[in-house]
Every structure is written in structure tokens, then in C-alpha cells.
Amino acid sequence: MTRETMTFAKAMNAGLRAAMDADPRVMLMGEDIGKLGGVFRVTEHLQRDFGEKRVLDTPLAESGLVGTAIGLAMGGFRPVVEIQFDGFVFPAFDQITTQLAKLTNRHDGSLPMPVVIRIPYGGHIGAVEHHQESPEAYFAHTAGLRVVSPSTPNDAYWMIQDAIRSNDPVIFMEPKSRYWQKGEVEIEASPGPLHASRVVRKGSDVTLVGHGAMVAVLLQAAAIAEGEGTSCEVIDLRSLSPIDYGPIVDSVRSTGRMVWAQEAPGHTSVGGEIAATVAERAFYSLEAPIMRVSGYDVPFPPAKLEGIYLPDADRVLEAVDRTLAY
């Protein structure tokens, strides 16, 4: 089995390259993704190798960018749109939620929309306003969209290819704080279906669930908890819509306790939906209320305060202690 160690960003680049090699209909579009290679260099050298007709530098007009991608998908292409930063997606929100998400259903399934919207999201990079948002709940709430978020280089490499092959629109949330983290990528073996959640650490006392950058925080918390005599099972959600509840419910039935963690604000969030569904499906196995750890219900603060706003291992461990106290 061929394995390579690379950063998350390089794994994304390799996955995009593999998809473009495999299908000439795949094209990339975005602001500064060509000669510059993107703000985070995820598309570095792709314009050089595939040409300006397949890797397009676009104007700073997100609504027009997504609208153009919809037209290209109607014409048989498989466009991949990069939204430079999470907070910049909102000018394109109308195109995504009222057009892209609805067109296939509007045409009774006869018009596929194979469009991928790549959104670098989340905090931990000390950026300014509109550069550290977590808008995943907006899109997970919208019927007709698939929403996924890898947490490792291996998932980044495979999930972007799976997303591009999908005939449905996919919102591809990339935790930007993970771009520089290295990991092994198995070039020949896919880690599993695009929408499958996965147990990444076995445990017996508490189930910890999260996605994107939060998975690393949960693993850190689980390692600390183990030293204190508590065994935590960690589940990487991977897909936010649809959600694969099987591994989560199985784990909660075994541990009897669950803590969900996310960077986004807690009010009406993905975490609230998961907590409600797990309570419905595993109520008689729960030995304590489901605990949620999240960003606070305020706009993302200035960079110097992000350490207070973003959940860390200490806040996760506090929730673990609270659930064990029942």
C-alpha cells in the first residue's frame, strides 16, 4: 500500500489533481487560485499544469462565481468553486440555497448539479472579521445540499475526490487551522464512503463527537482524560448532511454518555440536532444528559480573544466531568 506523509493543504492539492486527471470535465474556479495558488496554496501549480481554461482566476464576486458554476454544471462540467474565506460565502448564499440546492428537485431529478463549493472555515489562525466563521449549520439545514468536513490529510485527499464525483452539490468545509498539519495519506485505499462517520479512538466511559478541527481537540482531551482514569471514545462526524448516526448511537449505547463539541455557536446548531437525535434513538442507554461544548452565541471576536471563544481541551474535559457526575 502506497503511503505518503503530507500536510492537509498538500493532500487537498493532490486530491484535486487526481480528480482533474481522472475527468476532463472537472474545473476549478475562485479568487487568486491560479497563479497565486490560493491564499492557503491549496491549488498551487494546478493552473500551470492544467491551463487557464480549467483553473480560472475569477473576479471578487462570489454570487457571480457560484451562478457561473451552476451554468457550467448545466452544460456538463463539474466545477469546483473556492470561497476564499468562510465569511465571504454570504454574498453567494442566495445562489447556493435558492438555486444550486433546488434545481435537481425542480427538474424532478433529471438535472444533476455536480458542483463543489470549497469553504475554508473556522478559527485558530488569528485572522480579522469575516475570516474565522463557522457557517456549516446554514448549509446543513438546506435540503438539497450535501455538507462534509474532513479532519485529516487522508480524508481531505479522498473526500474531495468523492465530492467531485457526486452528482449532487457538496459544500466542502475545510478547517483552515488544519492546513499545515501533517499526516499519512493512503494513495490507493479510500477510508470509506463520503458520508460515513468514524470511530477514531476507542473508549468505554464517554463518547466524544465532533468534526473538522474539533476532532484534534477531542483527541487531545481524550488523551488527558485517560491519564486521569477516564476512557473516552472519539467519533469524527465527517459528514454534516447527511449524518451517519450508526457509529454515534452504537457508541452511546455502550458508554451511556456523550459530549458534542464544535467551534460554531451552540444555538440552533448541528450539535443540537445530533443531541436531539441521539436522545431519541438511545434514550434508555443514557446515564446522563448529553453535554454540548461550542463557541459562544456572539459574533466571532477579535483575534486576541479567539482563545477564549474557541472550545479547547479544558472545556471538553469540564463537560466530561459534568456528565460523569450524574
Q: Would you call 84 exposed, middle or buried from its count of C-beta atoms within 10 A (0-12, 13-18, 19+)?
A: buried
Query: Which position among 107, 130, 131, 267 bears the catalytic label?
Result: 131
Respond yes or no on whether the N-terminal peptide bond of residue 193 is cis (omega within 30° of 0): no
Is 141 a known active-site residue?
no
- Do the beta carbons of residue 19 and residue 160 sit within 8 Å? yes
Q: Give the residue among 32, 112, 22, 29 at the shortest CA–CA distance from 69.
A: 29
Q: Can you point out the beta strands (E) in the chain?
A: 3-7, 26-30, 55-57, 78-82, 116-121, 146-148, 170-175, 182-186, 198-201, 206-210, 232-236, 239-241, 258-265, 291-295
Backbone angles phi, psi at 174, to 5 degrees: -105, 115
CA angle 237, 240, 29 (to 5 degrees): 115
> Concatenated DSSP letters for 51-112?
-TTTEEE--S-HHHHHHHHHHHHHTT-EEEEEPSSGGGSGGGHHIIIIIITTHHHHTTT-S-
Name the strands in the sheet holding 206-210, side by side, starting at the edge strand that comes first in the sequence. 198-201, 232-236, 206-210, 258-265, 291-295
Q: Which residues pair with 81 in a beta bridge?
A: 29, 117
| Residues with a known catalytic role | 131
